[in-house]
Amino acid sequence: MTEEERQRQMEFILDTLARLTATTDKLAYKADGLTDMIGGLAESQAAERERDQARIVRLEESFVVLADLASRHEERLDQNDRRSERLKESIAELRRLAEPNGGNG
């Protein structure tokens, strides 16, 4: 290999290294930007999780209240069923007593 060929080869190697260095610098800059973006997204998601957690707590409290109301409603329906049954029995007894022979045969 002649001196001129060696010189061209060295220039090629130096040019290639310069381009690789420039590319690496650009990629590092982009990576820094992506890191910043990811950090911002993480902060945003953390804030959203906090808001969601507060909403979940309120929903859980609402479900407890609704379950209590449903239970009370069920109890009242049962009471009304018992009252209704007693009323039916009383009406039947009054009808029996109101029969011409007083319900005695």
Q: What domain range is 26 assigned to?
A: 1-74
Residue 41 lies in a domain: yes
**Total number of domains in the chain:** 1
Residue 90 lies in a domain: no
| 61 backbone dihedrals φ, ψ, rounded to 5° | -65, -40
Residue 50 lies in a domain: yes
CB-neighbour burial class of residue 71 (10 A; exposed 0-12, middle 13-18, buried 19+): exposed
pLDDT at 104: 66
- Taking the chain (105 residues) in runs of 10, the rounded mean pLDDT of each run is 91 93 91 89 90 94 97 96 96 91 63
Residue 35 lies in a domain: yes
Distance CA 102, CA 105 (A): 8
Residue 93 lies in a domain: no
Residue 79 lies in a domain: no
* Host H or E run for residue 105: none
pTM here is 0.47
